[in-house]
Homo-oligomer: A and B are copies of this chain.
Amino acid sequence: MVRPRSVAIIGASDDATRIGGRPIAYMQRQGFAGTILPVNPNRATVQGLPAFAAVTALPQTPDVAIVAVPGEAAVQAVDDLGAKGCRAAIVFTAGFAEVDEAGQAMQDRLVAAARKHRMRLLGPNCLGLFNAAVNFYPMFSLSFEQGWPLPGNIGIASQSGAYGTHVFAVSRQRGIGTPVCVTTGNESDVSLGEVIGWMAQAPEVEVICAYAEGIRESARFTAALDLARRNRKPVVLMKVGRSELGGHAAKSHTASIAGDDTITQAVLDEFGVVRANTTEQMLDIAYAATKRIYPVRNTMGVITVSGGAGVLISDAAEAMGVPMPPLPEASQAHLKSLISFCAPRNPVDCTAQAVNQTELFPQFLETTAEAGGYGSMLVFLTQTGGSTTMAPKLRPYLKQARETFADRLWVLSAIASADKVKAYEEDGYLVFEDPTRAVAAIEAMGRFGAAFAAPPAEEIVVPDVTLPATTPTEAEGKRILAKAGVPAVPEKACVSADEAVAAAESFGFPVVAKILSPDILHKSEIGGVILDLADAASVRAAHATLLQRAAERAPGARIEGVLIAKQIKGAVEMALGVARDPVFGPVAMVGLGGVFIEILKDVSFRRCPFDEAEAERMIRSLKGFPLLDGARGRPKADVKALAGALAALSRFAAGAGERLLSVDVNPLLVLPEGQGAFAADAVIEVEEGQ
């Protein structure tokens, strides 16, 4: 579909400004080497090429076909093409699933026609694609009016056609090369994930810019991200529709369901995908990635001619988490000996003096790079970098320093004309006018570096899980989870008051008593939990009270007895859970109990399964983590045990399959270090069935 030897255009137009005419005009103008086969029932020639009355009349089977005829005619065209032996079609036609149910039905027929012939579809409702390497332009965008793709190594994969070409147009305007662009529209067949996967192994592409309104399927998408990471190809993704309004707009645009943004984000984090919130960010990051230098330990050294910019850059670096360790004292002293009033710590303010006394400048560059050992170097020159008098003197020094320390990412922040910028770029520099944008790009390169350097995840052994036929009671649920590696608070299901007292005495007081029924999921709503039972008499009384409340407030519920559990105090209360995402399957979450979850939505998500190290990263990413780490005079909590329980829960969920609807462990009580973490309550919901 992207490197064909022949292409048919169904609905070909002689008018080079019409949708069915533009691709022909573009390919002819750019010199597409393959055969172009226009199909038009009313003309003998189209734009100077022999035209054919119908698909059936084509003299050869095209490698790929562009379908630019409306409605049902598009369905018919696909069927005819398939019958002819064509295996790929790019469907421009709109009016399918993005409009209404009738459109969805027509799209289903389109897909059925293609499937019948084992034919792949791009679209419908897509703008097409281009691959400048072979001058293939099956796209009806107006963008080429302002210029053709520049040489480069960035690929654009976009669900939105207009937005994909907008990114192309902005990048061309900035002088950034994007030789490949594929827009997927309604994704009736070829998905964004598949396009990313193709780019992850295509020699044309080293950096992938993707735009998504909704991820429709998980397997190809995550496999593509995994492949890209293994091939050290950074993926910058803009995923829109995160707001309520944006989600609404996405639905009527490419018929996408935006999905839960938190879970999408978790999946992106898992594969080291950097998310861009704006087009500018996306292109800044992609541009920076074209150098293919991804510092693994991404400290930043800054050399500036403006103290103010040094302060600004320091703020930005701290906010974005880019470390700026100081130069060693000896190096600072050396720089001070060159210019007494310089600020040599890092940011290194070499002051205007180093520009006036040009021979000092390289010493600042090289001392900082060498002694600081920074993964990235940011040189802030502002207008000096574009100055007709100063820049020619500084440039050779900059070039030399970069060559001497060629493994570093060298970035220049300067105000300069396009040709001066080009010259610096040829010397190996990235050039950003705005220093904050430079820092953001550097930060992203470090994230790629860390993701590419991470050892491949160990295969996680997923247990065989046999779920009960119906949603289990709390006690049963906790037994299931305990077996899976999420230990529970010592407890016993008791069928009599005597048994309850005996259990309490064996655990030691105080204990908690809870009603035990498969029909009562939320016990506290009927007063089904009684705390602080300090002696046998209280246990006995609580037993009676619970049975009475259940009879009154949940009449008809099957009562299996009363659960007696050891009451644990002084623990940190966490909530663990599993939910089933419609796209990504089982997703585990962890959060601190109480206000952290309920008011602040301070939770961390991850696809199941994952290991203990990943679980610990999730826990440490919580805003409330200090509470587990000794804040407010508490002892440090047993984070290892918590991480163990979370990872075990994730393996359980992965093994349980689709019948597992949700798990809610709340609270999980985390004791001080070395003392473990125990589920105090747990609800497992399963789909009724075998």
A interface vs B, CB < 8 Å?
A: 17, 94-95, 98-99, 142-143, 145-146, 158-166, 169-170, 173, 211, 213, 238, 240-246, 248-250, 252-254, 277-280, 305-312, 314-319, 324, 341, 343, 345, 347, 349, 352, 382-384, 386-390, 415, 433-437, 595-596, 598-600, 623-624, 626-627, 631-632
A143-B383, A252-B307, A252-B343 are known; give 4 further A-B pairs, CB within 8 A: A162-B308, A213-B308, A238-B312, A278-B436
Most buried by B among A160, A211, A305, A599: A599
Q: List 16 A-B contacts (CB under 8 A).
A: A94-B341, A142-B383, A142-B390, A145-B387, A146-B387, A162-B308, A164-B308, A166-B383, A170-B433, A245-B318, A246-B315, A249-B314, A277-B315, A277-B436, A278-B436, A595-B596
Q: For residue A324, which residues in chain B have a CB less than 8 angstroms away from its CB?
A: 245
Q: For residue A245, which residues in chain B have a CB less than 8 angstroms away from its CB?
A: 314-315, 317-318, 324
B211 touches A308 (CB 8 A): yes
Bound CA span A596–B277, Å: 29
Bound CA span A596–B142, Å: 53
Nearest residue, chain B, Cβ from A245? B314
A162 touches B352 (CB 8 A): yes
B240 touches A279 (CB 8 A): no
Q: For residue A343, which residues in chain B have a CB less than 8 angstroms away from its CB?
A: 249, 252-253
B241 touches A631 (CB 8 A): no
Bound CA span A279–B310, Å: 13
Q: For residue A308, which residues in chain B have a CB less than 8 angstroms away from its CB?
A: 158-164, 166, 211, 213, 240, 253-254
Q: For residue A314, which residues in chain B have a CB less than 8 angstroms away from its CB?
A: 243, 245-246, 248-249
Bound CA span A31–B678, Å: 81
Most buried by B among A316, A352, A626: A352
Bound CA span A309–B162, Å: 8
Nearest residue, chain B, Cβ from A323? B245
Bound CA span A305–B160, Å: 11
**Minimum Cβ distance to chain B for residue A264 (Å):** 13
Q: For residue A250, which residues in chain B have a CB less than 8 angstroms away from its CB?
A: 307, 311
Contact of A243 among B99, B211, B319, B631 (CB under 8 A): B319
Contact of A349 among B95, B213, B252 (CB under 8 A): B252
Nearest residue, chain B, Cβ from A624? B599
Q: For residue A624, which residues in chain B have a CB less than 8 angstroms away from its CB?
A: 595, 599-600
Bound CA span A514–B376, Å: 58
B278 touches A631 (CB 8 A): no
**Minimum Cβ distance to chain B for residue A556 (Å):** 26
Bound CA span A494–B254, Å: 74
Q: How many copies does the complex hold?
A: 2
Q: For residue A435, which residues in chain B have a CB less than 8 angstroms away from its CB?
A: 278-279
Nearest residue, chain B, Cβ from A305? B162
Nearest residue, chain B, Cβ from A632? B598
**Minimum Cβ distance to chain B for residue A188 (Å):** 17
**Minimum Cβ distance to chain B for residue A158 (Å):** 7
B437 touches A165 (CB 8 A): no
Q: For residue A98, which residues in chain B have a CB less than 8 angstroms away from its CB?
A: 341
Bound CA span A624–B143, Å: 48
CB within 8 Å for A627 and B599 given contacts A280-B436, A308-B163, A435-B279: yes
A95 touches B623 (CB 8 A): no
Contact of A169 among B161, B241, B242, B382 (CB under 8 A): B382
Q: For residue A626, which residues in chain B have a CB less than 8 angstroms away from its CB?
A: 599
Q: For residue A311, which residues in chain B have a CB less than 8 angstroms away from its CB?
A: 160, 213, 240-241, 246, 249-250, 253
Bound CA span A145–B252, Å: 52
10 closest residue pairs by CB, A with B:
A160-B308, A163-B308, A162-B306, A253-B307, A243-B318, A278-B436, A246-B314, A246-B315, A245-B314, A166-B382
CB within 8 Å for A309 and B166 given contacts A280-B434, A626-B599: yes
Contact of A242 among B162, B243, B248, B315 (CB under 8 A): B315
**Minimum Cβ distance to chain B for residue A344 (Å):** 10
Q: For residue A595, which residues in chain B have a CB less than 8 angstroms away from its CB?
A: 595-596, 624, 627, 632
Bound CA span A315–B239, Å: 10
Q: For residue A252, which residues in chain B have a CB less than 8 angstroms away from its CB?
A: 307, 343, 345, 349
Q: For residue A143, which residues in chain B have a CB less than 8 angstroms away from its CB?
A: 383
Nearest residue, chain B, Cβ from A242? B315
Bound CA span A315–B341, Å: 47
Q: For residue A623, which residues in chain B have a CB less than 8 angstroms away from its CB?
A: 599-600
**Minimum Cβ distance to chain B for residue A569 (Å):** 16
Nearest residue, chain B, Cβ from A256? B311
Q: For residue A341, which residues in chain B have a CB less than 8 angstroms away from its CB?
A: 94-95, 98-99
A244 touches B278 (CB 8 A): no
Bound CA span A390–B142, Å: 9
Most buried by B among A94, A311, A347, A415: A311
Bound CA span A146–B417, Å: 10
Bound CA span A341–B253, Å: 10
**Minimum Cβ distance to chain B for residue A103 (Å):** 9
**Minimum Cβ distance to chain B for residue A21 (Å):** 13
**Minimum Cβ distance to chain B for residue A314 (Å):** 4
Most buried by B among A249, A252, A599: A249
Bound CA span A452–B596, Å: 37
Bound CA span A242–B598, Å: 30
Most buried by B among A243, A254, A314, A600: A314
Q: For residue A349, which residues in chain B have a CB less than 8 angstroms away from its CB?
A: 249, 252-253
A309 touches B598 (CB 8 A): no
**Minimum Cβ distance to chain B for residue A257 (Å):** 12
